[in-house]
Amino acid sequence: MNQSKWIILTIIIACQLIVVLDASIMVTAIPQIGRSLHMTATSLTWVQNAYILPFGGFLLLGARAGDLLGRRRMLSVGIGLFSLTSMLAGLAPTAEFLLVSRAFQGFAAALATPAALALLSASFVEAKERAKAIAMYSAVSAGGGSVGLLLGGFFTDFISWRVGMFINVPIGIALLFLVQRFIQKTGTKTGRFDLWGAIASVIGMTALVYGFVQAADRGWGEPETWISLAAGIVLLAAFVLIESRVAEPIIPLRLFASRQRSGAYLGRFLMVCGNFSLFFFIPQYMQNVLGSSSLEAGLAFLPFTVAQFGMMYLIPGLVQRYGNRKVLMSGLLLSIIGTLWLSRIVSVQAQFFPQMFILLTVMGIGAGMVFQPLTVLGLSDVDPQDNGAASGLINVAHQSGSSLGLAILISVFDAAIRTDQPSKMHFAHAISSSILGSVVFITAALVVTLLCFLPARQSIRKQASMGS
């Protein structure tokens, strides 16, 4: 890989890192944000979801914009808007101002992220270089959340949670300069934006998440809960109908014609549903049950982060020797074992070292083996004109899994706590139940892998008859 390609890869990874960091950098700061802006426990979940929902919902529109207006241009626009809205979020005087700023941050991230991944696909076409580049990109995408926890904890304890937003501004300015200097201008083409499809998908997913959050806050019997959930389902069904009829959809349904690609998208969604939620619940457990500081809660994910990033260097060799499918299934099994064991030891008496340390390391190794194969399989055999849409769909699966998984498991947490004044024992039990819910999601991802990635029975029989 020559120097110019290393610079391009560094720009793309740095862009991906800042947008992924912002999905988790607020988690360890949630208690302080609640006190400083007078936010309730339920409204604090929207500090996360206000960012994640527009991020996931507008990714496909962002990918389409990159195809039509030029990927370098949309990368620059996304980074510039992200830097501006980050500054506004850091300056937020009220809860409402913070949530609106976070929503626009998510929209900006949705413009930049698919352009970055599409530029990676176009810049690295040789097999070994492409495998290495995707491995590094996947490691950052998956491990950036835990880095965000660490940075957020440090800033919260020693300076202010607002610094986690302000830090994006100088990084964004530097990236804007580097993009213009080192990334070549990409072509544009004529076409239409599928605006109605984008609106239906964003509002539909938001309604679903809102319904689950309301279920946790007010209960499943409230009309508001069921109306929101029903509206979400209807709007997402309308989105599929729109995509099947519109001339230039933001999701060409032909991308799902491949069982392998469909499995990669669904498997990623389910894995993130379970995996990302841990970034929310474990820091809350560390702070509210074990009495850790914000920084200590962030440091708790260090073994996970180190293990996951360490796998970045091993994955290309493992994939070359064993193939994407075996590496993927092995990683999912490790993730299930580590997460299930963790759910059993969470209690008031638990200690971080050695059990939680070891289990988080195992979970980091597992996660490090999952996302790179899923990225490769999600981009496999895609026509050049669909590169942007496929890249966007990978990120949609990731961000949608983050928001919906967290919303569902918050409902599990609330159902398990069963009291208005929870003790540490109640809180630990509820966290344990939520982590067990993560196991269910990751297990579902393994089932999808087995159904979609193993050879079909007819192919196996054909191979056996040819061998005989």
Domains of the chain by residue range: 3-185+250-467, 194-249
What pLDDT sits at residue 96? Answer: 94
Angle, helix 223-245 to helix 195-218, in steps of 10 degrees: 160
CA distance 201 to 382: 23
Q: Classify residue 181 by burial, with Cβ atoms within 10 Å: 0-12, 13-18, 19+.
A: exposed
In this structure, the number of other CB atoms found within 10 A of the CB of residue 417 comes to: 18
Specify the pLDDT at position 66: 85
Q: What is the pLDDT of residue 49?
A: 79
Place of tokens 């109908």: 241
What gap in Å lies between CA 341 and CA 335, rounded to an integer?
Answer: 10
Phi, psi of 435 (to 5 degrees): -65, -35
CA–CA distance, 236 with 22 (Å, rounded to integer): 26
**Do 60 and 396 contact (CB within 8 A), yes or no?**
yes
Identity of residue 4? S
Nearest to 290, CA basis, from 340, 345, 362, 336: 345
On whether the CB atoms of residues 428 and 346 are closer than 8 A, the answer is yes
From CA 430, how far away is CA 282, in angstroms rounded? 11
Asked if residues 136 and 9 have their Cβ atoms less than 8 Å apart, the reply is yes
- Count CA within 13 A, CB hemisphere, residue 238: 16
For residue 27, give the nearest of 277, 381, 310 by alpha carbon.
277
Enter the tokens of residue 63: 């990918």
Buried b (16+ CB within 10 A) or exposed e, 282-301: bbbbbbbbbebebbbbbbbb
Task: Tell me the C-alpha to C-alpha distance, in Å, between residue 426 and each of 57, 387, 407, 432.
Answer: 35, 48, 20, 10
3-185+250-467 folds as Growth Hormone; Chain: A; (1.20.1250)
Query: For residue 10, which amino acid is it?
Result: T
Residue 457 confidence (pLDDT) = 47
Question: How far apart are alpha carbons 339 and 45 in whole angstroms?
Answer: 22
**Can you give the pLDDT at residue 271?**
95
Torsions phi, psi of 167, nearest 5? -65, -25
pLDDT of residue 74: 93
Residue from 324, 339, 212, 351 nearest 276 by CA: 339
In a structure prediction context, what are the per-residue pLDDT tens digits for the chain, which is 468 residues long?
677 888 889 999 999 889 888 878 888 888 789 889 988 766 777 888 788 888 877 877 887 888 888 889 999 999 999 999 999 999 999 999 999 999 999 999 989 988 888 888 788 878 788 878 887 887 787 677 778 888 888 998 999 999 999 999 999 999 999 999 988 887 777 777 788 888 898 888 888 888 887 887 777 888 888 999 999 999 999 999 999 998 888 788 888 988 889 999 999 999 999 988 888 888 889 988 998 888 898 888 889 888 988 887 888 889 889 998 999 999 999 999 999 999 999 999 888 888 899 999 999 999 989 988 998 888 888 887 777 678 778 878 887 888 889 889 988 988 888 677 778 998 899 999 999 999 999 999 999 999 988 765 444 444 444 443
pLDDT of residue 263: 93
Listed in sequence order, the DSSP H helices in 124-167 are 127-158, 163-166
Phi and psi for 364 in degrees, rounded to 5?
A: -65, -40
Task: Output the six-digit token pair for 191.
Answer: 């076409």
Asked if omega into 354 is within 30° of 0 (cis), the reply is yes
Q: What phi, psi does 419 have (nearest 5°)? A: -160, 150
What DSSP designation does 355 have? I
